[in-house]
């Protein structure tokens, strides 16, 4: 088609233009691929497997975007040939249509279709396709230009979401790494010979209420104290989400519950590994999040100001999550204060899933994932409208709705990075179970491989015993006398169960 609404086709385009554009696109694509590959090598060399897996997740998202792009590009001509009555495209519009030409009140539907609104739609697609629908006295279901804009929006949404997740984990991780000095200080006090001798000489029975952790969180008994506890938890997330006494107490509670035989356990290092494991789950866009995208796009109707109201969803959710995590710490303090009057030595709290919503700490990670995605959606939609349609576009909305959305978006990003995510990293360790990050990377691989070999050996032995069952009692082991590898097999089963429990914390019943 020459001289049509879409311009010259490839048949009449100079070859040097095609070659230059193709070269630029290929060069940019290869540079991006090499950059991701190099980043993956760096993470592998630094033994950062969780972050490497998160990078793989990002690559999967980019591959999905590429498939979506290909699908939209290939099917755009087909989609633009879907013709519908004009009345169907006059409802649920993000913007009001421009003023149309005056028409006779007795005009037929065909006259309405030939009006200014339909002529504007005709100009958005190729003349052949428009002619296809015009002959049927209908309009295209979705124009080529609208498909192109939708394509760009999906791409911007994915990029902004990944970027925001990375920024959140980077800043939150920087906050958590500041706690390393607390870990080093505790290790020096507990394992340095001179310090240990001094602490043992000073070890005595003290009132529970003299401990700093109890002073900060225990607000008395009764209903009033419960209300004050929630208010204290709500406020504390803004100025001192985790103090040194919080860290030291929860660290000791975790070690005494899960690592009693290893008092030198590096809790801070374990917490970082666990956070990196969870990061690879947050960085992806799950199917249910795409469902939310469709719902939000559906509700973007002129006059509803939908994107202003839904901006408060992640805002209130974030405050609720932060308050709940702080309240878990308060509950730990109240449990000790209500059960003991005085204790000898250090104060020890008891981790339990009872403190979390529906006894599932994993719900907190799901909510953080949704909060980050929803906030990314808000910011991505703003920038997409700004670039695609300009700030004064009707779809952007009034300035009084835009400014609060941006302020809320920035507030969510900052609070989630510096308060909620660090709270999540430490407080979710106060559940009944522990995460598989408790094992070092090499130990995880070694235990899993060894357990699989033991299981395979046990299955082989069972097959041999079964096949030789008819050979008489002399062919098996002496009754009451266990075989030489029974002990190793039972140990292998126990280790396999341990690895399975670590890999599936939701099935962990807390037994050690």
Q: What is the pLDDT of residues 300-315, one digit of tens each?
A: 887 788 888 888 999 9
pLDDT at 102: 37
Strand 205-207 relative to strand 342-344, pairing: antiparallel
Distance CA 447, CA 436 (A): 12
Residue count of the chain, please give it. Answer: 512
**Residues contacting 292, CB < 8 A, separation 6+:** 370, 373, 374, 377
- Spatial contact of 304 and 397, defined as CB atoms under 8 Å apart: no
Distance CA 183, CA 130 (A): 69
Residue pointed to by tokens 């008395």: 220
- Spatial contact of 164 and 376, defined as CB atoms under 8 Å apart: yes
Q: Which two tokens stand for residue 155?
A: 């791409």
Distance CA 331, CA 218 (A): 9
Distance CA 150, CA 294 (A): 12
50-68 pLDDT, tens digit each: 677 777 777 777 787 778 8
Mean model confidence pLDDT for the chain:
75
Residue pointed to by tokens 């028409």: 103
Please indicate whether residue 344 or residue 105 has the higher confidence score (pLDDT).
344
DSSP state of 92: S
pLDDT at 439: 64
What percentage of the chain has pLDDT greater than the value 70?
73
Give the count of beta carbons closer than 10 Å to the beta carbon of residue 23: 10
Q: What is the DSSP string of 451-488?
A: HHHHHHHHHHHHHHHHHTGGG-GGGSPPTT---TTHHH
Q: What is the mean pLDDT of residues 441-457?
A: 60
- Spatial contact of 384 and 153, defined as CB atoms under 8 Å apart: yes
Q: What is the mean pLDDT of residues 164-178?
A: 85
Report residue 511's pLDDT band, with 50, 70 and 90 as the boundaries: very low
| Positive or negative torsion for Cα 226, 232, 236, 242 | negative
Q: What is the mean pLDDT of residues 79-95?
A: 78
**Residues contacting 496, CB < 8 A, separation 6+:** 451, 452, 454, 455
Report yes or no on whether pTM surpasses 0.85: no
Q: What is the mean pLDDT of residues 338-366?
A: 84
Please indicate whether residue 465 or residue 46 has the higher confidence score (pLDDT).
46
**Residues contacting 353, CB < 8 A, separation 6+:** 359, 360, 361, 431, 432, 433, 510
- Spatial contact of 79 and 141, defined as CB atoms under 8 Å apart: yes
Distance CA 372, CA 285 (A): 10
Q: Which of 115-129, 195-209, 415-429 has the highest mean pLDDT?
A: 415-429
Per the rule left: phi > 0, alpha: psi between -120 and 50, beta: everything else, 3 is left
Query: Chain-centre distance of CA 357, in angstroms?
Result: 18
- Using DSSP's 3-state secondary structure scheme, residue 246 falls into helix
213-224 pLDDT, tens digit each: 888 887 766 666
| Positive or negative torsion for Cα 91, 96, 101, 103 | positive
Distance CA 425, CA 431 (A): 12
Distance CA 390, CA 383 (A): 9
Give the helix, strand, coil percentages of the chain, each rounded to 5.
70, 0, 25
């Amino acid at each position: 088609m020459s001289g049509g609404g879409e311009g010259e086709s490839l048949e009449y385009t100079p070859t040097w233009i095609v070659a230059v554009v193709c070269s630029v696109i290929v060069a940019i694509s290869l540079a991006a691929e090499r950059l991701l590959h190099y980043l993956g090598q760096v993470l592998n060399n630094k033994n950062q497997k969780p972050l490497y897996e998160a990078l793989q997740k990002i690559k999967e998202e980019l591959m999905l975007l590429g498939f979506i792009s290909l699908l939209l590009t290939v099917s755009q001509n087909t989609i633009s040939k879907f013709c519908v009555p004009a009345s169907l495209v006059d409802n649920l519009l993000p913007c009001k249509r421009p003023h149309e030409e005056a028409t006779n009140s007795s005009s037929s539907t065909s006259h309405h279709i030939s009006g200014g609104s339909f002529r504007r739609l005709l100009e958005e697609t190729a003349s052949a396709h428009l002619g296809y629908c015009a002959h049927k006295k209908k309009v295209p279901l979705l124009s080529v230009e609208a498909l192109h804009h939708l394509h760009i929006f999906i791409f911007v949404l994915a990029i902004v979401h990944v970027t925001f997740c990375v920024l959140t984990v980077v800043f939150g991780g920087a906050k958590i790494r500041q706690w390393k000095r607390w870990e080093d200080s505790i290790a020096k006090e507990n394992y340095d010979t001179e310090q240990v001798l001094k602490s043992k000489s000073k070890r005595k029975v003290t009132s529970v209420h003299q401990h700093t952790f109890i002073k900060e969180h225990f607000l008395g008994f009764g209903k009033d104290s419960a209300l004050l506890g929630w208010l204290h938890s709500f406020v504390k997330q803004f100025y001192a989400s985790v103090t040194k006494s919080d860290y030291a107490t929860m660290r000791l509670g975790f070690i005494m519950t899960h690592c009693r035989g290893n008092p030198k356990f590096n809790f801070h290092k374990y917490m970082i590994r666990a956070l990196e494991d969870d990061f690879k789950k947050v960085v992806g866009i799950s199917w249910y999040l795409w469902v939310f995208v469709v719902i939000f796009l559906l509700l973007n109707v002129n006059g509803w100001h939908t994107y202003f109201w839904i901006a408060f969803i992640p805002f209130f959710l974030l405050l609720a999550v932060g308050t709940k995590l702080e309240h878990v710490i308060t509950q730990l303090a109240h449990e000790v204060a209500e059960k003991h009057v005085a204790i000898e030595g250090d104060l020890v709290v008891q981790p339990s899933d009872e403190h979390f919503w529906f006894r599932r700490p994993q719900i907190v990670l799901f909510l953080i994932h949704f909060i980050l995605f929803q906030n990314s959606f808000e910011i991505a939609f703003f920038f997409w409208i700004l670039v695609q349609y300009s700030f004064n576009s009707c779809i952007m909305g009034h300035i009084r709705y835009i400014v609060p959305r941006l302020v809320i978006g920035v507030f969510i990003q900052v609070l989630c990075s510096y308060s909620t995510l660090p709270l999540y990293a430490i407080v979710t360790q106060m559940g009944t179970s522990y995460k598989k990050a408790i094992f070092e990377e090499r130990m995880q691989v070694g235990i899993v491989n060894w357990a699989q070999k033991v299981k395979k050996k046990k299955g082989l032995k069972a097959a041999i015993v079964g096949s030789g069952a008819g050979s008489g009692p002399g062919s098996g082991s002496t009754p009451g006398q266990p075989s030489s590898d029974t002990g190793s097999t039972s140990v292998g089963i126990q280790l396999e169960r341990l690895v399975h429990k670590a890999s599936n914390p939701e099935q962990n019943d807390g037994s050690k």
